[in-house]
């Protein structure tokens, strides 16, 4: 906890940052590269007393952050994104631009630290692979911080984290912040990696059986890709889970039943691995566990909160409804 305020949070949109600020959060990292047109909203949040850190990986971004800070008379805290595995954005630790960017930010009072994300850990299928990914993530971030410090630049924050590495890290020496990723919900991608069990998944979509095509071995539901998203993140894993695994309303897996195909508003359930297609009459309500919780949640307006300890097969009681923050 920071001075009694809610814990720090990481967001992926400014809309999320604004929502968390409205909820009293004052320590926020916006972990997507900054662009000039976003800075007025960043500066408005800083003016509300929110520490909103932005992310960048180029001299161009550093220059416009420094200029915007000068014009507004407020320092926009910025973190330099470090590339630890070639997955996405960021600078390599040996990039000549690293120190120059750090100096530009420091001279404007904006240099907060460095941040990295081990995106390739989403393809780490063993405990040892995830441990090594976490070790590399830490080593890369710390090395970048030390390079900046050796040039006389202050580095307050050394931020690491992805869902797999946050659960695999054994030594965080030199790290000041661990971003824990999708630990709230988990999903089938994480279960497929061994980060969690299928029983740990906290997010599902309720669908209804609306038809049968026995000649094809299909059960048809009213939940297509508009309900589940197009994400097929398990397709590259040893066990492809299609568009999701299927449970009854109590959350108990129906053996061998998978959502194997989807059109906009229709989902196709089929049996696999020698399983027998269950007898599920029209009107039967089911839950589908998603490949990627973030993508599936983004298809919906909010969450219906239920008690996962309930064992009855009828519809669990909804204890609360949490609205989602959509848009950017």
Query: What is the distance between the alpha carbons of residues 180 and 16, in angstroms, rounded to a whole number?
Result: 17
CA dist., res. 142 & res. 161, Å (int): 13
CB 206 within 8 A of CB 287: yes
Residue 159, pLDDT score: 97
Selecting from 3.40.50.740, 1.25.40.10, 2.40.37.20, 1.10.240.10, what CATH number does the domain 191-323 have?
Answer: 2.40.37.20
Q: Of 125-134, 239-248, 307-316, which gets the smallest average pLDDT?
A: 307-316
What does the pLDDT look like over 235-271, one tens digit per residue? 999 999 999 999 999 999 999 999 999 999 999 999 9
pLDDT for 2 equals 39
Average model confidence (pLDDT) across the chain:
94
- Domain pair 9-181 / 191-323, same fold: no
Domain ranges in the chain? 9-181, 191-323
Alpha helix stretches (DSSP H) within 214-292:
225-228
CA-to-CA dists, residue 252 to 15, 104, 105, 198, 248, angstroms = 35, 55, 52, 10, 6
Per-residue model confidence (pLDDT) at position 291: 98
The contacts of residue 38 (CB under 8 Å, 6+ apart) are 14, 54
Measure the CA dihedral 204/207/213/217, to 10°. 20
CA distances from 10 to 29, 98, 256 (A): 5, 23, 37
CA distance linking residue 16 with residue 309, whole number of Å: 30
Q: What is the DSSP string of 301-322?
A: SEEEEE-TT---SSPPPEEEEE
- pLDDT band for 3, please (50, 70, 90 cuts): very low
Beta strands in 7-134 (DSSP E): 9-11, 27-33, 51-56, 78-82, 111-116
How far is Cα 168 from Cα 161, in angstroms, rounded to an integer?
A: 10
Q: Which residues pair with 245 in a beta bridge?
A: 258, 289
Q: Could you tell me if residue 315 is left (phi over 0), alpha (psi between -120 and 50 degrees) or otherwise beta?
A: beta
| E strand or H helix at 128 | helix 127-150
pLDDT tens by residue, 215-225? 999 999 999 99
What average pLDDT does this structure show over 43-61?
98
Q: Is the pLDDT of residue 228 over 50?
A: yes
Question: Which residues make Cβ contacts (< 8 Å) with residue 128, sequence separation at least 6?
Answer: none
Q: Is the pLDDT of residue 1 over 70?
A: no
Q: Is the domain covering 9-181 a CATH 3.20.20.10 domain? A: yes
CB 147 within 8 A of CB 93: yes
In whole angstroms, what is the distance from residue 254 CA to residue 301 CA?
Answer: 27
* Lowest-confidence region among 2-6, 131-135, 258-262: 2-6
User: Is the separation of the CB atoms in 252 and 316 below 8 Å?
Assistant: no
């Amino acid at each position: 906890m920071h001075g009694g305020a809610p814990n720090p949070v990481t967001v992926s949109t400014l809309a999320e940052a604004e929502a968390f600020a409205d909820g009293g959060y004052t320590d926020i990292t916006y972990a997507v590269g900054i662009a000039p047109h976003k800075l007025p909203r960043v500066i408005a949040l800083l003016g509300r007393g929110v520490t909103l850190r932005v992310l960048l990986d180029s001299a161009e971004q550093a220059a416009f952050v420094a200029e915007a800070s000068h014009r507004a008379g407020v320092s926009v805290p910025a973190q330099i994104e470090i590339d630890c595995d070639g997955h996405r954005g960021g600078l390599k630790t040996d990039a000549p631009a690293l120190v120059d960017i750090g100096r530009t930010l420091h001279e404007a009072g904006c240099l907060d630290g460095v941040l990295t994300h081990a995106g390739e850990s989403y393809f780490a299928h063993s405990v040892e692979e995830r441990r090594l990914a976490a070790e590399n993530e830490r080593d890369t971030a710390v090395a970048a911080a030390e390079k900046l410090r050796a040039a006389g630049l202050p580095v307050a924050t050394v931020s690491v984290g992805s869902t797999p590495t946050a659960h695999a890290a054994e030594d965080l020496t030199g790290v000041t912040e661990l971003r824990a990723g999708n630990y709230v919900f988990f999903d089938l991608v994480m279960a497929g990696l061994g980060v969690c069990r299928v029983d740990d998944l906290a997010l599902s979509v309720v669908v209804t059986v609306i038809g049968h095509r026995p000649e094809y071995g299909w059960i048809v539901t009213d939940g297509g890709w508009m309900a589940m998203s197009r994400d097929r993140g398990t397709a590259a894993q040893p066990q492809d889970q299609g568009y999701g695994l299927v449970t009854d309303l109590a959350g108990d897996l129906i053996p061998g039943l998978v959502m194997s195909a989807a059109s906009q508003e229709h989902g196709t359930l089929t049996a696999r691995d020698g399983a027998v297609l269950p007898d599920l009459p029209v009107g039967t309500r089911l839950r589908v566990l998603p490949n990627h919780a973030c993508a599936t949640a983004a298809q919906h307006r909010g969450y219906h909160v239920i008690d996962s300890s309930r064992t009855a097969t009828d519809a669990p009681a909804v204890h609360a409804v949490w609205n989602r923050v959509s848009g950017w």
